[in-house]
Structure 1
Amino acid sequence: MTPKTFFADLDGESVGDTALRRIRSDIIRGQLRPNERLKLDGLRTAYGVSVTTLREILNRLVVEGFVVAEGQRGFEVAPVSEADLRDICELRLLLECHALRRAVQLGTLDWEAHVVSAHHKLQSVEAKLIGGAPSSVEQWVQFDWDFHHATVSACDMPALMATHSNVFDRYLRYHLQALDFRGKPAADEHRKLRDLVIARDADQAVALLTSHVRAGMEHILATGRFT
């Protein structure tokens, strides 16, 4: 599974695949706002695909939880709410904790190196944010995904991993709309999680991941943007 890419086009994509990824990304990043009506004529111009292709894309995004179909009224961007974030958080934990146990059991030396490398990039951005240097919270969100994905990437269950990727996208949507970094506690937890994963301590890693994700959720909710 490839890392999240919010900006650049990917080689080998069809026009429809590119439009799907761009629309999903624009919803996750808040360029298309919650509850916004998705008018086909405007989308056709903005994303360069036919109305037929757009309908297929939007119906797929309905299944993924990013778009709501309003019967004869068409499509709208899915709303956001505290209840929805809490639901997504628990689903993420259900999937990610199981994937983490499998990864710890099956991971190779290359997997360990991948975890360390992903954490190094994340730690670099976190240090800048903590130190008050100009840095992008959106970039931190990208590297946060890269690190958490690295920790579970040795899991041998493709269906679980695909579902986890979708749920993580929905979680990222809240992160990117809040755009607020939790600071040193989050950075410390990432470092400890790296160490526990490399030490193959699945029980402690899962316990830390659980508290880490829930603390992040509460931090997002504390911004007051989703009540």
Structure 2
Amino acid sequence: MTSAEIDGEQQNGLTVSENAYRRMRSDIIFGRLRPKQKLKLDGLRDSYGISISTLREILNRLSSEGLVVAEGQRGFEVAPVSVENLKEVAALRLLLEAHALKQSFAAGGVEWEGDVVASHHKLATLERRMAAGDMSQTELWKRYDWEFHQSLISACGSQVLMDTHAAIFDKYLRYQMIALSFRGDIAASEHRVLLEAALDRDSKTAREVLARHVQGGLEHALAAGLIA
């Protein structure tokens, strides 16, 4: 075993194991590891610079999150996708986020407002670039999208709710990356209304817009025809 494979070694403040877990999880969510792709241990060991034992731990962890499927003696593969699962994920995201919005809007203070404004500014800037035809930063766009929606609910007062929403949002994001689902001015307009509703503490409007936002994203992803 090389020194890079030793659990507990630090990389950017993270253990090698945690760093590899985050990289692999990101590779699944952003489609670099495709649905139903076989995850061969020897190849992954070389790609992520970790031991086989650490790799198995990571794959089991990702399996518990529903991002990897254990195939018994045949090993592991990236979790498949389906229209039915996308609909379930979208419905659960809406349920969690709508509830968290109401709690967050009631409790958020000035610092929360500042975070919402700042995260929207980054997202809106990138959405304008993409609307103009620059699709070179899709991963950064989705990161900013995640940050904006997380900022909206960040004052909800429940870390469990935040963590659960983040896990579901990642699964929703995975489908968006597979379908390359960018709705242009429609989504950007919905984000602007969500920002205004947050500053006005208008949770009713925000939840109505969020429902359209999630449903629109679902329909747009399905229309692309890339989800088997």
Same structural fold, with TM-score higher than 0.5 when normalized by the shorter chain = yes
Task: Render the CA deviation track for 1:24-69: whole Å, top value 9, x for unaligned.
Answer: 0111111111101111111111111111111111111111110011
Q: Percent identity?
A: 52
3-state DSSP of counterpart to 1:155: coil
Task: Render the CA deviation track for 1:127-176: whole Å, top value 9, x for unaligned.
Answer: 12223356523322121111111101112111111111111111111111
Number of the residue aligned with 1:100: 101
Cα distance in 2 for partners of 1:219, 1:140 equals 17
Deviation, structure 1 residue 112: 0.5
Contact 1:193 1:208 in 2 (8 A): yes
- Letter paired with 1:80: V
Structure 2 residue 177 is the aligned partner of structure 1 residue 176: yes
The residue correspondences of 1:42-53 to structure 2 (distance < 5 A) are 42-53=43-54
- Letter paired with 1:17: E
Number of the residue aligned with 2:38: 37
3-state DSSP of counterpart to 1:68: strand
Contact 1:125 1:135 in 2 (8 A): no
Structure 2 residue 90 is the aligned partner of structure 1 residue 77: no
Number of the residue aligned with 2:200: 199
Structure 2 residue 151 is the aligned partner of structure 1 residue 142: no
How many aligned positions are there?
219
Larger radius of gyration: 2
CA RMSD of aligned residues (A): 1.5
Cα distance in 1 for partners of 2:21, 2:135 equals 32
The residue correspondences of 1:3-14 to structure 2 (distance < 5 A) are 11-14=12-15
Contact 2:35 2:81 in 1 (8 A): yes
Task: Render the CA deviation track for 1:57-110: whole Å, top value 9, x for unaligned.
Answer: 111111111001111111110001111111110111111111111111111100
Q: Which moved more, 1:126-135 or 1:150-159?
A: 126-135
Listed as ranges, the gaps of 5+ residues in structure 1 are: 1-8
Number of the residue aligned with 1:162: 163
TM-score (normalizing by structure 1): 0.92
Contact 1:189 1:208 in 2 (8 A): yes
Contact 2:100 2:156 in 1 (8 A): yes
Runs of 4+ in 1 over 4 A off after TM superposition: none
Listed as ranges, the gaps of 5+ residues in structure 2 are: 1-9
- Letter paired with 1:83: E
Number of the residue aligned with 1:68: 69
Cα distance in 2 for partners of 1:140, 1:163 equals 22
Contact 2:112 2:155 in 1 (8 A): yes
Contact 1:138 1:179 in 2 (8 A): no
Contact 2:178 2:227 in 1 (8 A): no
TM-score (normalizing by structure 2): 0.92
